[in-house]
Amino acid sequence: MNFKDINECLQAGVAPETIAQCVIEPEILRPDKLKGIYDFEREIWNKFHPEGTDQIGLTLPWGNFHGSSLPFRFRYGEVTVWTGYNKHGKSEVLNHCVVDLCWQGDKALICSLEVQAPETYRKLIRMTQARRNVCSPEDKAQFRERCLKPLAQKIWVYDAVGNADIEDVLAVMLYAYQRFGCRQFVLDSLMRFSGLDGEGQEIWNAQKAFMDRLVDFARTYNVHIHLVAHSKKPNDRRGEAIIPRRYDVMGSSYITNLAFNVIVVWRNRAKQDKLEEIFQACADLWISAKSGQPMPPWKRLLGGVPPPDAVAEVRDSWKAMLDNVEKLPGDMKSTFQELVPLHDAYFIVDAQRGGDGDCPARHLWFHFDSLQFLEVSPWKSGNDPRRHPTHYADKSVVEMDEEI
């Protein structure tokens, strides 16, 4: 039993001889949480000389070709908040990252409370196959082997749409971690979790408690949690032309303050809106010249020239679209040529607590067929591999450095 001083010892009936012995040979009682530098020698060494994905973290799909680097890693034990305006591509960019993380050797659970599970998987299949037409009706017998199997032991989903209780989601996350080894968890989005909407101190406290639960889970099980949180509507007259930052997240400041990283995804709406006008003109020309023939997906033009091994349908569609563009009025054709090389999205690491604190950013180009985002315009000439989507289904999975 511990006593604060000699008086307390005497009052408790401790023998004077025992008290005297304690005075002569005192034992220093240091608080458990009081540590010195030598207590962390191994951990500090690993900070300077990290080895393996557990120490370094996993990379983004971009910025890692030919020795170049994008100074950001998805480290275990951390929570990343993904933000941006509604319909600006947060979920699409995040899902692309999750697919890439799985081919780096991880496994993931996606809790998408705004999109039904079959639709989530449909998009993931297009990403892994790097094409839009992943399987023809004649090849239905091969659908499971070709399209489902590559994802079967990599990505699971929390099958619910609408509001969810964080306790139930955390229970499923824990099972997915323990049973399947999932270490990447997507929660999309914050507004769909019960008890977190509204304003006032009570709501802010609830959001803080919510973030505390996520941070504790990530640290306890050494996993990474991705939380999607929408940005507030822009109040500037320039609207969505203004790129939001971490301070614009809808809700309490606790959401971003307690996160380890904040990533902003912004879509180039000006380019998209102008291209939509051109695509409408292309559709009008197509109807007038080829009425009754199936209209090609004009957004495929954003993906650049299809690769030589693309199916004939894709190559023919591409040629037909370019022929149609050639018939556009001169000013519209020149506008198209000016627009397509421009970036479609802007990826910003707006805050990073780990690493060296770098906050890198990248322009990204959307590849319609694969739903992937590329870090170089697909219209760029040459053999730069960054201008092509990644065929994940044909790519070997990197083995993890150690088991959980």
Q: What is the pLDDT of residue 1?
A: 66
Structure confidence by residue, pLDDT tens digits, 231-248: 998 887 778 889 999 999
Helix H or strand E encompassing 299? none
* Percentage of residues of the chain with pLDDT beyond 90: 56
The CA distance from 314 to 189, in Å, is 35
Q: Is residue 95's pLDDT more than 90?
A: yes
Structure confidence by residue, pLDDT tens digits, 165-218: 999 999 999 999 999 999 999 999 999 999 888 778 899 999 999 999 999 999
**Assigned token pair, 320:** 């037909």
pLDDT band at 50 (very low <50, low <70, confident <90, very high): confident
* Residue 181 · residue 106 · CB < 8 Å: no
Residue 207: closest CA among 253, 263, 264, 260? 253
Residue 57: closest CA among 66, 65, 47? 47
Q: Which residue has the higher pLDDT, 174 or 51?
A: 174
The CA distance from 349 to 359, in Å, is 5
Residue 90: closest CA among 14, 189, 214, 9? 189
Q: What is the mean pLDDT of residues 369-379?
A: 93
**Assigned token pair, 268:** 């180039």
**Assigned token pair, 254:** 């606790």
Q: What is the pLDDT of residue 5?
A: 82
The CA distance from 115 to 172, in Å, is 18
Radius of gyration of the chain (CA): 27
**Assigned token pair, 300:** 């495929």
pLDDT band at 404 (very low <50, low <70, confident <90, very high): very low
The CA dihedral of 37, 42, 81, 113, to the nearest 10 degrees, is: -130
Structure confidence by residue, pLDDT tens digits, 107-150: 999 999 999 999 999 999 999 999 888 988 898 999 999 999 99
Query: How far, in Å, are 47, 77, 102 from residue 55 at the CA level?
Result: 8, 11, 17
Q: Which residue has the higher pLDDT, 107 or 20?
A: 107
Q: What is the pLDDT of residue 173?
A: 98
* Percentage of residues of the chain with pLDDT beyond 70: 96
Query: Which residues are 361's β-sheet partners?
Result: 348
pLDDT band at 270 (very low <50, low <70, confident <90, very high): very high
Task: Mark out the alpha helices in 105-156 (DSSP H runs).
Answer: 117-129, 143, 149-152
Query: How far, in Å, are 1, 16, 19, 20 from residue 26 at the CA level?
Result: 15, 15, 10, 10
pLDDT band at 256 (very low <50, low <70, confident <90, very high): very high
Q: What is the pLDDT of residue 400?
A: 59
Query: Which residues are 365's β-sheet partners?
Result: 374
Q: What is the pLDDT of residue 67?
A: 54
Q: Domain segments of the chain: what residues?
A: 58-267+347-374+390-394, 271-339
Task: For 152, list phi and psi in degrees, rounded to 5.
Answer: -60, -40
The CA distance from 306 to 319, in Å, is 10
* Residue 298 · residue 279 · CB < 8 Å: yes
Structure confidence by residue, pLDDT tens digits, 383-396: 888 889 999 999 88
What amino acid occupies position 108? A
pLDDT band at 51 (very low <50, low <70, confident <90, very high): confident
What amino acid occupies position 137? P
The two most distant CA atoms of the chain are separated, in Å, by: 109
Structure confidence by residue, pLDDT tens digits, 299-329: 888 888 887 777 888 888 888 888 888 898 8
Architecture of the domain delimited by 58-267+347-374+390-394 = 3-Layer(aba) Sandwich (3.40)
Query: Which residues are 108's β-sheet partners?
Result: 155, 184
Per DSSP (E only), the strands in 243-381 are 261-267, 345-352, 361-367, 372-374
pLDDT band at 403 (very low <50, low <70, confident <90, very high): very low
DSSP strand pairing (78-84 vs 261-267): parallel
Q: What is the pLDDT of residue 402?
A: 45
Q: What is the pLDDT of residue 236?
A: 76
Q: What is the pLDDT of residue 30?
A: 77
The distance in angstroms from the start CA to the end CA of the chain is 40
Task: Using alpha carbons only, give the angle 255, 112, 402 rounded to the nearest 5 degrees.
Answer: 80
